[in-house]
Amino acid sequence: MTMTEVPDIVGTENFFDGLSVQPADPLLSIIAAFQADPRPTKIDLGVGVYRDEQGKTPILGAVKAAEARLVEAQSTKAYIGVEGNGAYLASLKSLLFQRGGGDDLVAMQTPGGTGAIRLAAELINASSPHARIWIGEPSWPVHVPLSQAAGLQTLSYRHFDPVSQQLLLDDLLEKLETALPGDIVLLHGCCHNPSGADPSAEQWQKLAEVIIRRGLIPFIDLAYHGLGDGLDADLEVLRALASVPQLLLAYSCSKNFGLYRERVGALFVRTGSPAKNQAVASTMFLLGRMIWSMPPDHGAAVVHEILGNEDLIDQWHVELATMRNRLSAVRSAIAREPALVKLGEQKGMFSQLSLTPAQIEALRRDHAIFMAGSGRVNLAGLSLRDVPRFVEALKTVSTIG
Ligand code: LMR
């Protein structure tokens, strides 16, 4: 055969024969199913997006104002660098860490909170290959596969009982007593996804005590900051863990700034020693460069614009409080039903109901109520007007109530 002859293709094999059809993402598939349903009375309690009483997810006024300022002032779209927007990171750092967080804190901008979690998982694996990570059950459905995709070994603990609607703190503490020094513990900073069951300040202290005593590394997923009890109150986890030497924090601005599609997040790492900062930061930068190269700029620039301007911060605080107060009004309305009283005590967008797949299907088929197959409901999808219909539908299909 000469160099220019093409060899015969042997057989009919396709390069992609090794791939099979994957199940749809359990949360994102609800978006399509909801959109395809023609019933005007349909209710979307699926993916975690805030909605107002009219069912809209408006752009925050503070965001609109910041965008207008950016359009006016921004003079280039040239690359910003692998670390992302340093001013944005500094603004978030002062929002999150009292007294600046110490001189052993490093940060990197990421595409959304999920990007931060992926980067953290890769960083953990780079530092300690196949490290063990404890993830609560239930948790956000992406936590386990994402950790495994990065090479980590996942271990589970029971976090919550959907029947009693109770946080299972004792189970968690008991499990952590069996964890090995250097194990990672994934914690939802506030507004637990999917249960809404957050530890109290006292319970965070108990958790922190075990984490410190057993030499565990907390990895906090903070995606709903400000939507629980408020910007300061929602940082109880960081106060409790203030003396932990090493810690990772994945942050998302999707919900609290309503910047979902702009993909705005950050990973903060407390390294335990300023001497380690460069090794940790440069590894993060290298990993980021290998996965997404450089994070998108726009959303982070908007967040920095807001956090750097007193009027815009005030406006954001008011808008965030409006979202938070609406969520708690919906929770209070649901909690008037005695069997659902616990939902009134939970925080943030989500609660996890004890429903069978058949009951969840009946809610969709007979009542046009869409929720995750796990029984998770995004209560931000309910208007106050729809609460009675929702509660009645639950009573019709299940023994709740
Ligand atoms: C959710 O849990 O619904 C949100 O965090 C959106 C997502 O990416 O899953």
Query: What is the pLDDT averaged over residues 211-232?
Result: 98
Determine the 3-state secondary structure of 188 from DSSP. strand
Mean pLDDT of 272-293: 97
Is 90 exceeded by the pLDDT of residue 399? no
**Mapping DSSP to helix (H, G, I), strand (E, B) and coil, where does residue 298 land?**
helix
DSSP string, 107-135: EEEESHHHHHHHHHHHHHHHHSTT-EEEE
pLDDT band at 5 (very low <50, low <70, confident <90, very high): low
Above 80 in pLDDT, residue 222?
A: yes
Task: Give yes or no for residue 267 having a pLDDT over 70.
Answer: yes
Mean pLDDT of 162-183: 96
Rounded to 5°, the CA angle 24-29-30 comes to 150
**Predicted confidence band at 101 (pLDDT cuts at 50, 70, 90)?**
confident
Residue nearest to atom 1 of ligand 1 (CA): 48
Tell me, in angstroms, the distance from the centre of ligand 1 to residue 32's CA. Answer: 14
pLDDT at 1 > cutoff 70? no
User: How far is the centre of ligand 1, averaged over its atoms, from the C-alpha of 287 (Å)?
Assistant: 23
* Alpha carbon 61 to its chain's center: 23
Residue 325 · residue 227 · CB < 8 Å: no
Question: Does the pLDDT of residue 306 top 70, yes or no?
Answer: yes
Contacts of 67 (CB under 8 A, 6+ apart): 302
Q: Using CA atoms, how far apart are residues 394 and 384, in angstroms rounded to an integer?
A: 16
Three-class SS state of 301: helix
Q: For residues 325 and 230, is the Cβ–Cβ distance under 8 A?
A: no
Answer yes or no: is pLDDT of 199 > 70: yes
How many Cα atoms within 13 Å fall on the side-chain side of residue 322?
17
- 47 Cα–ligand 1 center, Å: 6
User: Does the beta carbon of 138 lie inside 6 Å of ligand 1?
Assistant: no
pLDDT at 400: 79
Dig out the tokens for 167 from the structure.
């946080």
Q: Calculate the average pLDDT of the chain.
A: 95
Q: Is 85 in the pocket of ligand 1 (CB under 6 A)?
A: no
**Residue 57 token pair:** 């997810």
Which amino acids are annotated catalytic? 140, 221, 223, 255
pLDDT tens-digit profile of 41-96?
999 999 999 999 999 999 999 999 999 999 999 999 999 999 999 999 999 999 99
| Residue 388 to residue 395: CA distance in whole angstroms | 11
Please give the span between the terminal C-alpha atoms of the chain, in angstroms, as a whole number: 78
Q: Give the model's pLDDT for residue 4.
A: 59
Beta bridge partners of 218: 185
Q: How many CB atoms are located within 10 Å of the residue 39 CB?
A: 8
Give the pLDDT mean for 297-303: 97
Q: Lowest mean pLDDT of 50-59, 95-104, 340-349, name the range.
A: 95-104
Q: For residue 285, how many other CB atoms are within 10 A of its CB?
A: 17
Q: What is the pTM of this model?
A: 0.94
